[in-house]
Amino acid sequence: MKNLKNPFLIGYVVIYMISLAILNSSENFSIGNSVTILVIVGFGFSGLAFILTRFSKPMKITVSGSSKEMFFLVFSVIVIVVFLTWGSRALSNLFLSSFDKTSFVTHFGHLIQKLFFFVAIPLFVMLKYFGYSLKDFGIQFKNTGSNWKSHLPVMVGLVLFFILFNYFVGRGAEPIREGHFSAMQLIIGMPLSFIWLLLEVGLVEEFFFRAYLQTRLAVFFKSKLSGIITACLIFGLAHAPGLYLRGAGSITALGDSPTFIFAVAYSIVTLSVAGFFLGIIWIRTRNLPLLMVIHAAGDLMPGYPELMQVFNI
């Protein structure tokens, strides 16, 4: 009951409802899809994560949350917004313009960019200038046998759930269900796709938005729930400038030239919701490799058809 009175939660609900009302005024937008995402991802996935992590023993990490550290955190978020909005395209045009957009080289170049801006820069600064170690970002294996033992049911349960859920329900897995890929393609392509996603969405997003961002926000606001909500909002809003400047097209059903308000509203309603269940897993395990595996498993079926084109298998 105490969490229901959390001002960040109340604020998020108000912002979400306002954003939903804004999107509902668009003829191209279907409110039913957003409600489905909220119910399945926001409540369903989060509830499952809460249940499975009930007996998890979190890893021990240290966070100071100093004013200098928070200043750098804000700076890091600004860098990520700039990168997602202009930087990624600019770097691609500079170094990858001679390659086809679907080529492996282009996608590998994008992966290197993400690893550099989302992981390498903040991790280097945290280790070098703020005195942290890798264990403070959920990367530890020594003397953590009891922790991992309590985390394995979480990993096995959620990995199996996401694979089965996406296969039988997810739209992204339709080509797999319909037999568009041979047995050999599946045997070779699935492990490669999983390894790729382990880095691209697992390491990149879970390090920055959970191990780095959410952890410090929770300390700063003195509330784990406030940390989750703020990190989820930042994750969603970080994509809004890019949607506005580049045009959302069919991806967001907002047309090729959405207004900035519509881009922000869509980012909140659709993108911010996805981070809640991962935030719950993080605060209850403090285990970055665990989150990487779960996130990669969740994106495996939807991302497999596109990655097969990238790997040219």
Task: Give residue-wise pLDDT tens across range 94-144.
Answer: 888 888 877 899 999 999 999 999 999 999 999 999 999 999 999 998 888
Split at pLDDT 50, 70, 90, the class of 253 is low
Provide CB contacts within 8 A for 258, sequence distance 6+: 243, 244, 247, 248, 252, 266
28-42, 97-111, 276-290 — most confident range: 276-290
Nearest Cα to Cα of residue 286 among 221, 218, 198: 218
Tally of domains in the chain: 1
Confidence of residue 25 (pLDDT cuts 50, 70, 90): confident
Confidence grade of residue 287 (pLDDT, cut at 50, 70, 90):
very high
Instruction: List the domain range (segments joined by +) for residue 107.
Output: 3-311
Kindly report the pTM of this predicted structure. Answer: 0.93
- Which residue is associated with the tokens 């820069």? 121
Say how far apart CA 80 and CA 273 lie, in whole Å.
19
Degrees to nearest 5, angle at CA 218 with 225 and 273: 45
Print burial letters for 263-291: b (CB count within 10 Å at least 16), e (below 16): bbbbbbbbbbbbbbbbbbbbbbbbbbbbb
**How far apart, in Å, are the Cα atoms of 249 and each of 28, 40, 242, 253?**
11, 25, 12, 6
Average model confidence (pLDDT) for the chain? Answer: 90
